[in-house]
A = this chain, B = another copy of it.
Amino acid sequence: MIMEGGQDNERTRHYYKIDKIKESVLQSLTRLGEKIVNNLENGVFPEIQLPLRATSNIIYDPNLRQYVLGDKYILRTTKNVKHLRPFAQVIWISSFAKKLIKAGKTSTLRDTYYVAIGEGIDFEDQDESDEAIVELESLLGHPREDLNIFPEERASIYGDLVIEYTVPGFRGKRVDLSSHPDGFAIGPALTTAEFIKCGAEVLFVIEKGAVFARFVEEGADKKYKALLIHTAGQSPRNARKLIRRLNEELNLPVYIFADADPFGVHIASVLIHGSAISAHLRELNIPDAVWAGLYASDIIKYKLPSMKFTEQDAKRLEELKRDPRYQTDPWKRELAVFSKIGRKAELEAFSRYGLEFIVKEFLPERLAELTKR
């Protein structure tokens, strides 16, 4: 598919969307502040209503095809002395986010904690400031990235896609993501960029750096007209956001390749179903993405070198088997195979058949299987 989003009005629309999000967040923050100031001026104890983020309020939405919060709320009121501290913390985070957006700057969770300390805000530790940020996310219905609070970059991307930046200092500049074979780090600039021209027809998401490098070296991007994303383990949120955008805006089908072990299964599942801790957010999961392996049954089918489960693997597997997200195939089927064989294998294990095997043999076989279904 050749996508030409580079028309002037298209481009303006993307900038408009980016600016609109910031504007909407700023408005919500301003309204929150005004409400509290009004309360105080009228001699009323300020209160905020927060969606309840407990298991009892996490439900699966079949339309959105992800876990979302139900309609239970908790009331945080300044009438209650015990509520004062977390109330003030959320308000401070709100004011910090407003400053960030206005200044066009970004921060990390850790930086935010230290800025709070510097301003004399009483956070016991980073866990407490992280929690206040999550509360603000749930209050506004915006992920922290929209508040300019980003995770550390770690994931990377490679392939036939030209992007145009929207971040200050780079707005309007373009870069071709096939121009650096070691990959482009996925940070705030890439996550918010506009897609200008895409020669790819599919997206392969890969857990391991070594396998990402193998896919580049064996030309998987050209053979399959594929973009390649390396998540470096559990995918950081900026990479999840980018994958979601590539899937939605460019209609690229997404295939996920992770190790055949309980952690690899979880990596694929979080990308597809979202995570319970992000149930208060949208647009961070990719419901249409397909778990493409490694399956437990691949260990048998391909006679892969494998390792015995550790105690931790076994424990993790039992947890997954009880999780509602894994009650359908291929999840259920493969978890049963794991239980039976009690062994795990890595993506690199295909190298037992030579370095070319994974791209030349395994990949076309798996894609044929998955598209047949």
Residue A37 CB within 8 A of the other chain: no
> Which residues of B are found within 8 Å of A187, using beta-carbon distances?
181-183, 213
How many A residues touch B, CB cutoff 8 Å?
Answer: 52
Interface check A232, CB cutoff 8 A: yes
* Listed A/B pairs (16) with beta-carbon separation below 8 Å: A107-B351, A110-B210, A110-B351, A111-B348, A111-B351, A114-B352, A115-B354, A118-B353, A150-B213, A152-B208, A153-B182, A156-B156, A175-B180, A181-B187, A182-B187, A188-B213
A183 to chain B minimum Cβ distance, whole angstroms, is 4
From 198 to 234 in chain A, residues with beta carbon under 8 angstroms from any chain B beta carbon are 208-210, 213-214, 217, 219, 232
Q: Which of B169, B219, B346, B352 contacts A118 (CB 8 A)?
A: B352
Write the A182-195 contact mask toward B (1 if CB under 8 angstroms, else 0).
11111111100000
Measured in the bound complex, the distance between the Cα atoms of B118 and A353 in whole Å is: 6
Q: Max chain B CB contacts within 10 Å: which of A114, A169, A187, A350?
A: A114
Bound-state Cα–Cα, A351 to B173, Å: 29
A165 vs B180: C-alpha distance when bound (angstroms): 9
Could you tell me the distance between the alpha carbons of A107 and B154 in the complex, rounded to whole angstroms?
A: 21
The complex places the Cα of A179 from the Cα of B107 at a distance, in Å, of 21
Contact with B along A338-350 (1 / 0, CB 8 A): 0000000010111
**A155-189 at interface with B (beta carbon < 8 Å):** 156, 165, 167, 169-170, 173, 175, 179-189
Which of B115, B154, B182, B352 meets A117, CB within 8 Å?
Answer: B352
Within 8 A of B (CB), among A90-131: 105-108, 110-112, 114-115, 117-118
Q: Which of B115, B232, B351 contacts A114 (CB 8 A)?
A: B351
Cβ-based interface call for A276 (8 A): no
Given contacts A153-B156, A153-B183, A182-B189, are A355 and B107 in contact (CB under 8 A)? Answer: yes
Chain B CB within 8 A of A51 CB: no
Q: What chain B residues lie within 8 Å of A156 (beta carbons)?
A: 153, 156, 185
The verdict on A305 contacting chain B, using a C-beta distance below 8 Å, is yes
Q: Quick one: given A210-B111, A348-B108, are A184 and B181 in contact (CB under 8 Å)?
A: no
B105 and A217 contact, CB distance less than 8 A: yes
**A152 CB, nearest partner CB in chain B, Å:** 4
Separation of A190 and B179 alpha carbons in the complex (Å): 11
- Given A152-B209, A154-B209, A355-B111 in contact, is the A167-B188 Cβ separation under 8 Å? no
Chain B residues contacting A182 (CB-CB under 8 Å) are 153, 184-190
**A181 and B170 in contact, given A114-B305, A152-B209, A210-B152 (Cβ under 8 angstroms):** yes
Give the complex CA separation of A214 and B111 in angstroms. Answer: 10
In angstroms, Cα B42 to Cα A140, docked, is: 81
Contacts of A209 on B, CB cut-off 8 Å?
152-154
Chain B neighbourhood of A185, CB < 8 A: 156, 180, 182-185
A82 CB, nearest partner CB in chain B, Å: 26
Taking a contact as CB atoms under 8 Å apart, the answer to whether B152 and A181 are in contact is no
**Contact assessment for B186 and A190 in the assembled complex, using a CB-CB cutoff below 8 Å:** no
In the complex, which of the residues A180, A214, A217, A353 has the most CB atoms of chain B within 10 Å of its own CB atom?
A180
A173 to B179, Cβ gap below 8 A? yes
Q: How far is the CA of A181 from the CA of B174 in the complex (A)?
A: 11
